[in-house]
Amino acid sequence: MGKSKILVLGATGYIGKYIAKASARLGHPTFVVVRPDTTAVPNSARKVLLDSFTAAGITILHGDLGDHESILAALKQVDVVISTISITLIADQLKLIDAIKEVGHIKRFLPSEFGVDVERTTDLPALQAIFKPKAKIRTALRESGIPYTFINANNFAAYYLPTLLQEGLEAPPRDKITILGDGNAKAIYVDEDDIATITIKSVDDPRTLNKQLVIRPPTNVLSFNELIEIWEEKIGHKLEKSYVPESTLRKQLDELPFPNFIYPAVLYSIFVAGDEYFELGPEDAQAIELYPDFEYKTVSSLLDKFV
């Protein structure tokens, strides 16, 4: 039957560009939707990115989630839809669900997630303000009858590893480090290209249909304390450690206004509450079991570039 034709929404965003390029690299006819003004500034970063899409054989379409007709026109050209839109636009995916229902032939929709399981997060107001909108999209998608796959990709390695969560740094620290909570919560780090490749592998896989695909390479499941030990071994000495108590972090979350609490709330969820590491259930499919020959980049190898 050939490989599915894939539409990526949010392709100029952080994870979206990896997804779009992986789709093309793995042989899928690939389309992205961008606003008409995206290419208006010559030599801008987005224009350069879109030129790289064109060079990779990706078809660029103009449109916007607020323009129903443009989205319908894009959907009519594809089989699979992957949304990577930003957290501020999550609710707009309800319009996308309506459009997918209208065209009637889309065989898989992957909504914008790619992080923690939004239905298994700690019940704190700040966290729920972030994750409830995504959970509502899951509910709407299930009720719509549209085939889906949720991607539980955990931590973007290139986002967290270069500074080990230390503000103001451009490389991992070599003298002292601040640890959130006690540093014992397990977190999972996955290279962005690996996330993108596994995501694209899943779109035509019947084993991931109406499932959550959990990307959890065993070598990259580490507590923050274990992560520090790997770094200390690479630089040949111990770091001076200080800790921010969980009670202090929770107080900060209660006092910060929206949207200022988004980043610290996500850090709390991952590195203190341990929301990434949960017991898998019948609706979870494990990437390491479905694609056993895939070789993930390890945390250790990703840290080597900073030594």
Catalytic residue IDs: 134
Nearest Cα neighbor of 95 from 80, 75, 114, 113 is 75
**Residue 273's pLDDT band (cuts 50, 70, 90):** very high
Query: Measured in Å, how far apart are the chain's first and last C-alpha atoms?
Result: 47
CB neighbour list of residue 87: distance below 8 Å, 6 or more residues apart: 130, 133, 262
In whole numbers, what is the pLDDT of the chain averaged over residues?
94
Is it the case that residue 253 has pLDDT exceeding 90?
no
Instruction: Lowest mean pLDDT of 29-38, 147-156, 157-166, name the range.
Output: 29-38
129 class by beta-carbon count within 10 Å (0-12 exposed, 13-18 middle, 19+ buried) = middle
CA distance 76 to 100: 9
Both tokens of residue 181? 């909570």
Q: Considering only CA atoms, which of 12, 89, 92, 10 is closest in space to residue 45?
A: 12
- pLDDT at 131 (0 to 100): 87
pLDDT at 159: 92
Q: Cβ distance 30 to 57 under 8 Å?
A: yes
Quickly state the pLDDT bin for 43 (edges 50, 70, 90).
low
Which pLDDT score, from 0 to 100, does residue 260 have?
A: 82
Is the confidence at residue 117, as pLDDT, over 70? Answer: yes
Q: What would the mean pLDDT of 154-167 be, rounded to a whole number?
A: 95
Q: 128 falls in which pLDDT band (50, 70, 90)?
A: confident
| Whether residue 124 has pLDDT greater than 90 | no
